[in-house]
Amino acid sequence: MGRLVAVGLMGMALALLGERFLALRNRLKATGEVESVDLPNCHLIKGIEAGAEDIDILPNGLAFFSVGLKCPGLHSFAPDKPGGILMMDLKEGKPRALELRISRGFDLASFNPHGISTFIDDDDTVYLFVVNHPEFKNTVEIFKFQEEENSLLHLKTIKHELLPSVNDIIAIGPRHFYATNDHYFSDPFLKYLETYVNLHWANVVYYSPNEVKVVAEGFDSANGINISPDKKYLYVADILAHEIHVLEKHPNMNLTQIKVLQLDTLVDNVSIDPSSGDIWIGCHPNGQKLFVYDPNNPPSSEVLHIQNILSEKPLVTTVYANNGSVLQGSSVAAVHDGKLLIGTLYHRALYCEI
């Protein structure tokens, strides 16, 4: 009898594992393909060879790139080179990407930048917030941008128990931000288990010098985050659920979900067109290709443009799509004054005039 019970339990466990495996393949869209959508006036950005995972653009046209991200199990074209922050002036006729110098005392050798966000203070001081994974740990670095010197002055490193697996960040003050945790755990094995079992424990955290708290939770894998031009709503991309969550921001900084937009692709970073409030997203049509890299069958790229997301029927347009022959693993798309920048998780970056 005991053996029958053991066999029965083993069978149930195997069935559950099989069901979870098939569910994970669906969440990764492991069979996803993309039909090419080309833009006529694009070129690859010189100097970006190993990813530009996130991009943020100031109102004056200065664009910041987070480059060289490395994660356990993720492909890298420059595994031994530290990450960095690049800048491009989109007002120039032929803009170039230049690496910003970082002040002495900051550990450049372990710099592993992920999501980024800028904040302009009342005195026009520009702060750059950077999610950093030194030795695959989790910190948020705050820099002051010094435009005259093309440099970043490091001001502060933030660590907190509520920031165990930070992915992206949106700055709302000189020391204040919202951040996404794409996992509840920080341990690599527990992260994998969390994803496989589909616990939905990922969350959004509000941080200030006086208060740190979870303000939204229940995500499969919370990824990109951004804020509407009027500062009333936050947008959170749940990459493995293929969803954009719209959350209302309250005076106490808590968030209330008011809408979920379901899409048919893995949504990564979220950028906002400040002039229209439109949303631009770098997406992954096939997540399995992203994580199981094959140079003969590389990950594809896709850019979505979402208009009127608060309406009953938002307009979703595929602006760009490529099978990996030009751009592999698009993670972000940011616009400014008729120019579109597309970054990737670990490949190249594209500059387009639209």
User: pLDDT-based confidence at 11, cuts 50/70/90?
Assistant: low
User: pLDDT-based confidence at 16, cuts 50/70/90?
Assistant: low
Write out pLDDT tens, residues 265-280.
999 999 999 999 999 9
Q: For the whole model, what pTM was predicted?
A: 0.95
SS3 308: coil
Q: How far is CA 101 from CA 49, 146, 150, in A?
A: 19, 10, 7
**Under a CB-based contact definition with an 8 Å cutoff, are residues 300 and 321 in contact?**
yes
Is position 254 annotated in a ligand binding site?
Answer: no
Write out pLDDT tens, residues 223-276.
999 999 999 999 999 999 999 999 999 999 999 999 999 999 999 999 999 999
Quote the longest CA-to-CA distance of the chain: 79
Buried b (16+ CB within 10 A) or exposed e, 13-46: eeeeeeeeeeebeebbbeebebeeeebeebeebe
**Strand order across the 166-173 sheet:** 166-173, 176-181, 202-207, 212-219
Is position 116 annotated in a ligand binding site?
Answer: yes
One of 114, 284, 305, 336 is an active-site residue; which one? 114
Predicted confidence at residue 263, as pLDDT, reads: 98
Average pLDDT, the chain: 95
Active site residue 114: yes
Is position 161 annotated in a ligand binding site?
Answer: no
In this structure, the number of other CB atoms found within 10 A of the CB of residue 264 comes to: 13
For 291, list phi and psi in degrees, rounded to 5: -95, -20
Is position 268 annotated in a ligand binding site?
Answer: yes
| Position 8 pLDDT exceeds 60 | no
Q: What is the DSSP string of 241-281?
A: TTEEEEEEE-TTS-EEEEEEEE-SSEEEEEEE-TTT--EEE
Length of the chain: 354
Q: Which residue has the tokens 């094995």?
A: 189
How much of the chain, in percent, has pLDDT values that exceed 70? 95
User: pLDDT-based confidence at 73, cuts 50/70/90?
Assistant: confident
Return all residues near 221 (Cβ < 8 A) that are at least 6 apart.
Answer: 182, 183, 195, 202, 238, 239, 240, 241
Question: What CA–CA distance (Å, rounded) separates 318 from 219?
Answer: 25
The CA R_g of the chain, rounded to the nearest whole Å, is 20
Question: What CA–CA distance (Å, rounded) separates 32 from 67?
Answer: 27
Is position 54 annotated in a ligand binding site?
Answer: yes
In this structure, the number of other CB atoms found within 10 A of the CB of residue 75 comes to: 22
